[in-house]
Amino acid sequence: MLDKTICARASVFIGASGSTFTEDILRLRKDWASASLCDEYLCQGEDPNFIAENE
């Protein structure tokens, strides 16, 4: 829960569509009135257009 709290208290949150982790954070942000107009989903249903070479 600590990781969700840290993310929920951030000034902006960008999460993954379909993720329960993301949905929990967005719900907390709404309940705590800390949601931002910049909160969004990464890639918004599209495939990423990059490939990580050396991770």
- Amino acid letter, residue 38: C
- pLDDT over 70 (residue 2): yes
As a whole number of angstroms, the distance between CA 27 and CA 53 comes to: 34
Q: What is the mean pLDDT of residues 24-49?
A: 83
- pLDDT over 70 (residue 51): no
Question: How large a percentage of the chain has pLDDT more than 70?
Answer: 76
Do the beta carbons of residue 13 and residue 7 sit within 8 Å? yes
Residue 21, φ and ψ in degrees, nearest 5: -60, -50
* pLDDT given for residue 50 in this prediction: 62
Residue 12, φ and ψ in degrees, nearest 5: -140, 145
Is 42 in a helix, a strand, or coil?
A: strand
* pLDDT given for residue 55 in this prediction: 54
As a whole number of angstroms, the distance between CA 20 and CA 40 comes to: 14
